[in-house]
Structure 1
Amino acid sequence: MPPLRSLLPRRSSQAIFFLVLLLTTGAFTLPALADYRDSGGGYCCPNYHQAIRPGDEIYLVSTRCLPGGCGYQLPVEQMSVMRYDGEAGWLQSSIEEATADAPVDCTSIFVHGNWMDRGWAKRRGWAMYHEVTRDWTPDRHIRYIIWSWPTTPNSKSLASIRRNNARADAEAYYLGWFLSQLPAEEKVSLSAFSLGASVVTGALRLQAGGVVVGRSLEEVAPRNCRVVFFAGATPTGSFSPYCYGGDAMSRVERFVNYYNSSDPALKRFWMLEGRGVKAMGYTGAGGLSSEGWAKTTQYNVSCIMGREHDWNLYACNRCIMDQSREVLRFEEILMPATEPVVTEPVAEEADPANAEVAKSDADVNDESPEESKSDDEATNVELAPAKGSAEATQA
């Protein structure tokens, strides 16, 4: 039998190569120079420093040693939990301590994306914590959860991406169950990058009484969460009440989606979910009910991000983070948008055997320096809601 490589069309092989390359770059690339903000004294972005604000609580919840797959009974009680102490560092904790009543204003959970090992999951979690709590008054406190799940890469690149994508369904059950353990009156927000968005949408579907790969929750929390996605690698209809066996949007109070119609990695999302399936982080959310649209604000940030799938670019953009923290901290309203985002229309995905795939791959290679914005330019671009979002409709 000929090797698998010889059975793939050359153009499909090229597309797979670029998908793997782009996801890898987005996972591990660091900015060449530190970006200091206009805050008192300034600080580096992304800020990986392990420093907790007085009165805050930070937990690391890990499912890396727990099984997934559709054939397992998931041992939710065995999740590893650690708590950060400002003097002693990371200490062993428990689910009971992490979900107990606490004198905090809200709980915020961050779910990382693909190809993150334990160390990088912590770093990304710390960076997001510093962004969420930036410029918050000392009398406001947060319970912050870093959700660490098994997405460590291995040598078989595309196979590991597909395996992690499948694992997101099991991970949704772990997260959904964890949400049920939090105090019923607690304000909860969730943020996620890339594949982490698939975990969040699945968890909220379970919280809404739905089913994910045959699993459902016995108990759900009577609360609606605030949600922010950055380049979400989850199907565009994940929040639709007409798809996927559950209305996840019914468990959402406010949803902000930053998508990039120029993202070359998410353009090839069909390689994970099948032909015709588009990523929410590439085309925006779709198929929502009228109630769902009223809760949703979407921004096409392609003019800022360009052809990049890089969490650092989102985390270090002032406008994006200023708006995101308002949602995640349960502030009143989003920042007013003054300048519309100019974007190109999203083209239909080509058949993998079509010559257009080769052309799109060539476009990724041939990008000129003039086509990408500098960090300073990108940082100062004002955002306006994309067409179809709640704010755009009201405007």
Structure 2
Amino acid sequence: MDIRASEDVSADIPWFSVSQSMTMQYSLAFGLLLFLLQVAGPSYAQPALTPPIVAPAEVASDGEASPAPNVPAEGTPAADATLPGDPDAAEPTPPAAMSEVDEADQSLLDQPAPESVAADAVTKEAIEAELETTPLEEFDVRESDEVWTISSRHVGSRHATIESLQYRRRIDGGRWVNESASRFLSPYSGPGKQQTIFLIHGNRTPETKAIRRGLQTYDQTVLGSRPISTSIRFVIWMWPADQIKGQVRDVRVKAERADLHAFHFARLMTFIQTQEPVAVIGYSFGGRLAIGAMHLMGGGSLCGSRLPNTPVSAVRVNLGLVAPAIRNDCFITTRTQALYPVQRLFLLHNSRDQYLKLYRFLKLDNNTPALGYTGICGINRLPLSRDHIRQFDASQSVGSDHDYLEYLTDKRIDALARQNLFTGAPLSPASQMSIGAPIQRLPAASIRLSP
């Protein structure tokens, strides 16, 4: 065989074959470009109905990478799919509106700005560093307050009684003593009133870290620079969220566990006797657990089961959700009764969260985005009045990290949480306006929050 002939064989290819080959290459390149644009581009997120928490355009570095994304499990039942023909799920929500109460929220945040955004970031980093290095026994607790841990980490069956949970109370010197369910549920006998606050941690949180995050929240939010005047019973709710092998398997298993342990939390909540609203803060998968518990308390079914032989809950809940890892239309699809026990709903979502952004690409919940990424979808169909719902986009305050400490150490977020979740929190005069105040339409541009 003539080698030179074989080398020159390309010269004999017809011109249309070359053209066809080039066309195919351009088509592949164009297809790849479309795919990259789809992944990198904005999701079909529903716009927030309340002002986003936004810092100026110049934002400090997001810092170190956060743990793996917290996303619900695959293989949800058919009822978990987006409802066909649901106008609220398919169409954009109405333009953002602000009531006089929202304006009061904004006034709380119009505080003197630091010299620069970088200075504000340095302050947050300093607070985070101090909180992370402080020994657990050195966190102070006021004499009028109580700090508890209630753990369902060792409980398997969803039908377990509240007596099977582990109760511990913090006493002098940072020591923990075992208590009983009856001791926790006994009526408050101290001076004035007492409010109970639950914190439910997120995924990949061992017991020691859960306690640390709880004490940090108590230190920053309850005490802070302007301590809440009401006596507080602060409860760290712990569920089995330690990291397991395999990133995808980890988040799928934890989504199932969050739904399972929602039964334990809901069952305990039905036995709490108080005239004061109980505040519940759920972060990431902890938000999923909290929503599931509220749904059960409202008479709903979860994982094919309801709360058996349990009295109807009379407690009213101020529910705070921080970057919750659950579908954004859950309140109108899979957790339709979650807002029946809720008096106020306070949601912090993050349209820059690099992990929750991946939620809809993982073929979970019919490719529905995460509530913690977009905010509430289908708000017009919720049983809770809009005047009792506050949601804010914290993206330019906390950056793209999925990190609870970023929210905890932000003073603006702390001010919003105090006003919307806790009784006895110091309020500005404007914030005491009537809930039924007329609503004013906002301009198209979002209100930005000064640092």
In the alignment, what sits opposite 2:59? none
| 1:268 aligned residue (350, 355, 358) | 358
In the alignment, what sits opposite 2:181? 95
In the alignment, what sits opposite 1:229? 321
SS of the equivalent of 1:127 reads helix
| 1:131 aligned residue (212, 220, 223) | 220
Indicate the structure whose relative CO is greater, using CA pairs within 8 Å and at least 6 residues apart.
Answer: 2
Partner deviation per Cα, 1:20-39 (whole Å, 9 max, x = no partner)? x9651689xxx9987567xx
**Larger-gyration structure (1/2):** 2
In the alignment, what sits opposite 1:73? 159
Unmatched tracts of structure 2, length 5 or more: 1-34, 40-63, 71-120, 432-441
Partner deviation per Cα, 1:212-232 (whole Å, 9 max, x = no partner)? 112222223213211111111
| 1:278 aligned residue (346, 351, 369) | 369
Counterparts of 1:204-353 in structure 2 under 5 Å? Answer: 204-217=294-307, 218-238=310-330, 240=331, 242-244=332-334, 246-270=336-360, 271=362, 273-288=364-379, 289=382, 291-331=384-424
Distance 2:353 2:369 in 1: 12
CA spacing shift, 1:155–1:219, aligned 2, 3 Å: same
Distance 1:65 1:53 in 2: 30
In the alignment, what sits opposite 1:24? 67
In the alignment, what sits opposite 2:57? none
Distance 1:250 1:322 in 2: 26
Q: 1:67 corresponds to which letter in structure 2?
A: G
Q: What TM-score do the two structures reach when normalised by structure 1?
A: 0.71
Q: What TM-score do the two structures reach when normalised by structure 2?
A: 0.63
The answer to whether the Cα contact below 8 Å between 1:66 and 1:75 also exists between their aligned partners in 2 is: no
Distance 1:341 1:95 in 2: 51
| 1:185 aligned residue (270, 275, 288) | 275
CA spacing shift, 1:341–1:59, aligned 2, 3 Å: farther
The answer to whether the Cα contact below 8 Å between 2:68 and 2:247 also exists between their aligned partners in 1 is: no
Distance 1:147 1:235 in 2: 23
Tell me whether 100-109 or 257-266 shows the greater mean CA deviation.
100-109
| 2:170 aligned residue (63, 76, 84) | 84
CA spacing shift, 1:232–1:138, aligned 2, 3 Å: closer
In the alignment, what sits opposite 1:369? none
Distance 1:305 1:140 in 2: 29
Q: 1:51 corresponds to which letter in structure 2?
A: D
Q: 1:247 corresponds to which letter in structure 2?
A: Q
Distance 1:94 1:300 in 2: 40
Q: 1:223 corresponds to which letter in structure 2?
A: V
Distance 1:208 1:83 in 2: 29
In the alignment, what sits opposite 2:254? 164
SS of the equivalent of 1:201 reads helix
Partner deviation per Cα, 1:129-187 (whole Å, 9 max, x = no partner)? 11221245585310110001101002222201110111111111111011112114242
Partner deviation per Cα, 1:39-90 (whole Å, 9 max, x = no partner)? xxxx94566543211110111001111115xxx5334421111000023611
CA spacing shift, 1:232–1:150, aligned 2, 3 Å: same
Distance 1:264 1:224 in 2: 34
SS of the equivalent of 1:199 reads helix
In the alignment, what sits opposite 1:352? none
SS of the equivalent of 1:181 reads coil
Distance 1:186 1:312 in 2: 28
Tell me whether 97-106 or 121-130 shows the greater mean CA deviation.
97-106
User: Is the counterpart of residue 195 in structure 1 residue 281 in structure 2?
Assistant: no
SS of the equivalent of 1:87 reads helix
CA spacing shift, 1:214–1:114, aligned 2, 3 Å: same
The answer to whether the Cα contact below 8 Å between 2:68 and 2:355 also exists between their aligned partners in 1 is: no
The answer to whether the Cα contact below 8 Å between 1:84 and 1:91 also exists between their aligned partners in 2 is: yes
SS of the equivalent of 1:249 reads coil
Q: How far apart are 1:332 and its partner, in Å?
A: 7.2
The answer to whether the Cα contact below 8 Å between 1:26 and 1:311 also exists between their aligned partners in 2 is: no
CA spacing shift, 1:272–1:292, aligned 2, 3 Å: farther
The answer to whether the Cα contact below 8 Å between 1:184 and 1:221 also exists between their aligned partners in 2 is: no
Distance 1:25 1:166 in 2: 17
CA spacing shift, 1:277–1:292, aligned 2, 3 Å: farther
In the alignment, what sits opposite 1:152? 242
| 2:139 aligned residue (50, 59, 77) | 50
Partner deviation per Cα, 1:321-377 (whole Å, 9 max, x = no partner)? 11112233225797779x99977xxxxxxxxxxxxxxxxxxxxxxxxxxxxxxxxxx
The answer to whether the Cα contact below 8 Å between 2:339 and 2:383 also exists between their aligned partners in 1 is: no
The answer to whether the Cα contact below 8 Å between 2:226 and 2:426 also exists between their aligned partners in 1 is: no
CA RMSD in angstroms comes to 3.4
